[in-house]
């Protein structure tokens, strides 16, 4: 006889937006470690409050240097920087477009153009690809490179963007709002019959998935990323569910690294 399970397994705090999700984490678990990851074999820990500071700085930079309702693409291996780009985009009034880092170049260019992205976050390994195809990516105003140390035209250093953002007033970014039923996350399929097709998710879709996912799932105090972050399951059920549960997420760069 199957064991009866009474859901929810624990109390889940209701919330209505990504903004509220972040505010709850900072208020109720600000000093707790949100992320753990390795840099040169050294383990780095980031608290929820420290993460929020990064979000404010990055958001302030984007608000100052791009238009409202910006569409933001991101491509690269699993990393803390990837998560900051993701949640900054969700916290603002724009749209986030996660890209599969293993896509052929033609598909990457297609998705960026089809999704009308004006900002691209990327690992340094993709910079050459984008430089060679700038004529096909005329709508993109900024490429923010995670591991670049200096700015070079459209190609900006992620670290420098954070520094410049820290010198700005974040209130304009923090006041950005979006309709909960409008497009917030644009996820492209595998494209088995031609180019990838975009699946449109609203903030309401995302919030509902996080809340009801927690209602029926067992989430522990510490978790480990497994799938690439561009996967919707990983982006929502790993990153956002862990965040709202105030769990510590250990960032794994790739499956072979486990």
In a domain, 10, yes or no: no
Distance between CA atoms of 71 and 93, rounded to whole angstroms? 9
Chain CA centroid to CA 229, Å: 8
Signed CA dihedral, 76, 81, 86, 92: sign only: negative
In a domain, 125, yes or no: yes
Sequence-separated (6 or more) residues with CB below 8 Å from residue 201: 183, 184, 185, 186, 187, 232
In a domain, 18, yes or no: no
What are the mean pLDDT values of the chain's consecutive 10-residue runs (258 residues total)?
60 95 99 96 97 99 97 98 99 98 96 98 98 98 98 98 99 97 93 78 98 91 95 95 97 75
Give residue 107's pLDDT.
94
In a domain, 119, yes or no: yes
In a domain, 66, yes or no: yes
Give residue 217's pLDDT.
86
List beta partners, residue 186.
200
Give residue 7's pLDDT.
65
Residue 147 maps to which CATH number? 3.40.50.12780
Range of the domain at 225: 33-257
Give residue 8's pLDDT.
63
Give residue 191's pLDDT.
61
In a domain, 19, yes or no: no
In a domain, 11, yes or no: no
Give residue 6's pLDDT.
55
Distance between CA atoms of 48 and 112, rounded to whole angstroms? 31
In a domain, 69, yes or no: yes
Give residue 257's pLDDT.
66
Q: Which two tokens stand for residue 198?
A: 């975009």
What total of structural domains would you count in the chain? 1
């Amino acid at each position: 006889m199957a064991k009866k399970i009474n859901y929810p397994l624990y109390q889940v705090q209701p919330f209505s937006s990504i903004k509220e999700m972040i505010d709850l984490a900072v208020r109720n678990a600000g000093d707790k470690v949100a992320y753990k990851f390795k840099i040169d074999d050294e383990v780095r820990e980031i608290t929820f409050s420290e993460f929020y500071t990064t979000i404010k700085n990055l958001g302030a930079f984007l608000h100052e240097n791009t238009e409202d309702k910006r569409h933001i693409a991101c491509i690269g291996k699993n990393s803390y920087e990837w998560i900051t780009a993701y949640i900054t985009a969700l916290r603002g009034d724009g749209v986030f477009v996660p890209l599969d880092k293993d896509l052929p170049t033609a598909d990457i260019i297609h998705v960026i153009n089809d999704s009308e992205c004006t900002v691209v976050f990327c690992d340094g390994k993709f910079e050459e690809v984008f430089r060679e195809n700038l004529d096909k990516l005329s709508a993109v105003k900024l490429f923010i490179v995670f591991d670049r140390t200096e700015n070079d035209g459209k190609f900006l250093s992620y670290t420098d963007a954070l520094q410049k953002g820290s010198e700005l007033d974040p209130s304009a970014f923090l006041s950005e709002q979006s309709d909960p039923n409008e497009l917030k996350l644009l996820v492209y399929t595998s494209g088995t019959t031609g180019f990838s097709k975009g699946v449109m998710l609203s903030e309401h879709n995302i919030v509902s998935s996080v809340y009801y996912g927690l209602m029926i799932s067992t989430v522990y105090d510490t978790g480990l990323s497994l799938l690439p972050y561009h996967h919707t399951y990983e982006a929502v059920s790993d990153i956002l569910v862990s965040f709202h549960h105030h769990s510590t997420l250990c960032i794994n760069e790739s499956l072979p690294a486990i």
